[in-house]
Structure 1
Amino acid sequence: MSTVTHTGADADADAALLAQVTTAVHAAGDRLRERYTPHARGVSADEIVTEIHANDDAVLDILKAPLLAARPGANWADDELAGGALPPGEWWIVDPAEGNINHVHGTPEWAVTATLVRDNRPVLSVVHLPLTGDDYTALAGRGAHLNGAPLRVSAKTDLGAALTGTGQARPGEDAHTFRRIGASVTQMLINGLVVRVSVPATLQLIHVAAGRMDAFWQFSDVRSGLMAGALLVAEAGGAVTDTHGNPWTPASPDFLAAAPGIHAAAVAALSPIA
């Protein structure tokens, strides 16, 4: 993945914008934390979906108004499960409850994310974990940080020593995608050390950016789950491509983020899976 190179006024403006985005994401996180319970909410599929929508509805306006005001003229991507390339210009890609399914089941793996995309390249991202207060931030060309401290991807060079991960992007994937996921897990179990299969993607990608995990892949183009993590990993020195090693864009059919030292081996393991 290539990112936008900033110079002069644009870079300064994006740096100032990062503070505004962080404030908005914190406010949304406060609301989502108030709604969190350490037990599951909902039993039937319909009840679970109702809880998920209620979380989104409670948080979305807290994010949307300040982000649009902070960047006049930027567009808003409404469907958080949509994929593919965006029209030219600036777009906000936001997930008001990334890992919403975890939130409503009483587990702690959820976050609030906001990414500014400029001509299909992410230029600014904030991932806020309300339960810990941690902020993962990235500016194109200016690095990735955790609470202000620089992030760096893993230095591993042996896929056989790698902790890797994947997961489904959305409920109701087609059977072909499920078979690919299963085949890829088998390949990585054979070639790697340990494989995590979990959701959401962003919470695995922050671990790749921080060097705690070594690779993450997904057979999906869902933008809201990939954009923030893609910028974080790239700015932390990682490789962000599709599973065949081609540069990743929102139009790519699948996704791979890895430490540079194991990227080629991960591509070799994953690329034959059709």
Structure 2
Amino acid sequence: MPESIRDTGGSAAAGSAAGSDAGLLAQTVIAVRAAGSALRERFGEVVPCQSREELIRALAANDDTALDILRPRLTALRPDARWVEDEPAGGALPAGEWWVVDPAEGNVNHLHALPDWAVTATLVRDNRPVFTAVHLPLTGETCTALTGAGVHLDGRPLHVSRTTDLGLSIVATSQARPDEDEKVVRRVGSSVTEMLLDALVVRTSVPATLHLLNVAAGRTDAFWQFAGARADLLPGALLVTEAGGRISDAEGRPWTPESASFLAAAPGVHAAAVATLSR
């Protein structure tokens, strides 16, 4: 994540903008909680799917349930902000404000009656994330980050781990999407092997945002992913950055939404994680 996202400026205008963004974030939290409540009502039993078409319809039904709540509320907050319609897409956005929303982050887990899913909404301004809200409906927790103002879990400030030894670290990775290119899949597999040799424990699951929340909270020490989309990396990248973590690609270069890989880590293990992933 470019360091420039942390530059809120020192002018009175910048302070006014930050205050306005804090108010928008508070209203966004209300919206993601409402959408989460609707998804929680749909959660419980495994949803049987006998074909890819049935799975896609079930995923879309969850997305639509949340979007029916999120879209009108967030649009009312920023009428001129555009929406990223292609949820799995990556790359830079055109100038201006955009809502980057994942209405059911970890949707496949929801369908399989697994607890790892969330609702996320991020406002991006000229390709810089301004704030994000991540709501976990099953626990009732909400994690928020505002550029330059830190990251909070239900009002409690979070900070990344102070671990300095990768050998004592819990690390994690995630599958960016089904049907990934074979070259990417093999790279993921080899990276897991390398991390199993160097780290204490390796966790592999979806979705990425929840892993990044754990890095921001100091519960885990690093997360990496090959490929990925704006909707599953931008929210968590802001959480980790505002919690004092380091963001780069897997080779240690500055990360952008156009990068082919992603790494978020506590500062004390970032260099070691880069060395492991670069082998």
TM bin, normalised by shorter chain, reads over 0.9
* Residue aligning to 1:142: 149
* Residue aligning to 1:58: 65
1:168 aligns with 2:137: no
* Residue aligning to 1:108: 115
For the 8 Å contact 2:177–2:228, the answer to whether it is kept is: no
* Residue aligning to 2:7: 5
Instruction: Write the letter of the residue equivalent to 1:108.
Output: P
* Residue aligning to 1:240: 247
- Unmatched 5+ residue regions in structure 1? none
Distance in 2 between residues matched to 1:74 and 1:47, nearest whole Å: 33
Distance in 1 between residues matched to 2:260 and 2:171, nearest whole Å: 20
* Residue aligning to 1:119: 126
The alpha-carbon deviation at position 16 of structure 1 amounts to 0.4
- Unmatched 5+ residue regions in structure 2? 9-13
Which residues in structure 2 correspond to 1:146-161 (within 5 Å)?
Answer: 146-161=153-168
Distance in 1 between residues matched to 2:223 and 2:92, nearest whole Å: 21
Q: What is the RMSD computed on CA atoms of the aligned residues?
A: 1.1
* Residue aligning to 1:24: 31
Structure 1 counterpart of 2:21, from 9, 14, 17: 14
The alpha-carbon deviation at position 38 of structure 1 amounts to 3.7
For the 8 Å contact 1:164–1:216, the answer to whether it is kept is: yes
* Residue aligning to 2:94: 87
Distance in 2 between residues matched to 1:64 and 1:41, nearest whole Å: 28
Stretches (4+) displaced over 3 A: none
1:67 aligns with 2:74: yes
The alpha-carbon deviation at position 40 of structure 1 amounts to 3.8
* Residue aligning to 1:211: 218
The alpha-carbon deviation at position 43 of structure 1 amounts to 3.7
* Residue aligning to 2:140: 133
1:35 aligns with 2:37: no
Instruction: Write the letter of the residue equivalent to 1:155.
Output: R
1:249 aligns with 2:256: yes
Instruction: Write the letter of the residue equivalent to 1:76.
Output: W
The alpha-carbon deviation at position 107 of structure 1 amounts to 0.6
For the 8 Å contact 1:221–1:251, the answer to whether it is kept is: no
Distance in 1 between residues matched to 2:208 and 2:83, nearest whole Å: 21
Which residues in structure 2 correspond to 1:196-207 (within 5 Å)?
Answer: 196-207=203-214
State which drifts further: 46-55 or 155-164: 46-55
Structure 2 counterpart of 1:185, from 192, 205, 211: 192
Number of residue pairs aligned between Structure 1 and Structure 2: 272
State which drifts further: 29-38 or 149-158: 29-38
The alpha-carbon deviation at position 4 of structure 1 amounts to 4.3
* Residue aligning to 2:11: none
Alignment TM-score, normalising by the size of structure 1: 0.97
Instruction: Write the letter of the residue equivalent to 2:7.
Output: T
